[in-house]
Amino acid sequence: MARTKNATPLPSPPGTPQHTTKAKAQSKKRTTRSKRAGLTFPVGRIHRKLQVATNGNRVSPGASVYLAAVLEYMTAEILEISGMVAEQSKRKTVTPRMMQLAVQQDNEFAEMFKDITISQGGVLPKPIHKSLLPKKNASGQGTSAGGAP
């Protein structure tokens, strides 16, 4: 039996890529890998940067999820410690200085950040050596450098 030009095409069998209905297409919402993993950091972007960093070598999809989770955890820890430093100094805003002090308070972060400079972080306060402090008289007053008699 010959088909005519006006005949409707036969439906494609189930399982082929063309066999999708509107209901099926609408029910499939796109979800990001970050959302699936329950993370805030972008898993897709980290995966892309990992591929570039490894010169096109294959990178496991789980590696980018793991790295995003580690980075998110470390960021949360640093911000938590920085928030406590801000509360101690009676401030509401976390500044780079407070982040520097927070990193140096934690032993593990201090070891990790030992060769890293935080912009506008300042330097750590160190106690002044005793030999550099002014000497005290018997009355408890420090000597003055002005030369008063």
Q: Is residue 96 part of a domain?
A: yes
Q: d(Cα 48, Cα 51) in Å, to the nearest integer?
A: 5
- Is the residue at 144 inside a domain? no
CB 10, CB 44: distance < 8 Å? no
* Per-residue pLDDT tens over the stretch 12-66: 666 666 655 555 656 678 899 999 999 999 999 999 999 999 987 889 989 999 9
Report yes or no on 24 lying in a domain: no
How many distinct structural domains can be found in the chain?
1
- 52: domain CATH number is 1.10.20.10
The one-character DSSP state at 132 is G
Distances (CA, A) of 99 to 90, 110, 123: 15, 11, 12
How far is residue 109's CA from residue 82's CA, in Å, rounded to a whole number?
A: 12
Looking at the domain assignment, is residue 5 inside a domain? no
Q: For residue range 61-118, what is the model confidence (pLDDT) as tens digits?
A: 899 999 999 999 999 999 999 999 999 989 999 999 999 989 988 899 989 988 888 8
Q: What is the DSSP letter of 142?
A: B
- Which range of residues forms the domain containing residue 93? 33-125
Residue 2 zone, left/alpha/beta (φ > 0; ψ -120 to 50; rest): beta
64, part of any domain:
yes
Q: How far apart are CA 109 and CA 56, in angstroms?
A: 31
Q: Is 20 contained in some domain?
A: no
Residue 140 covered by a domain: no
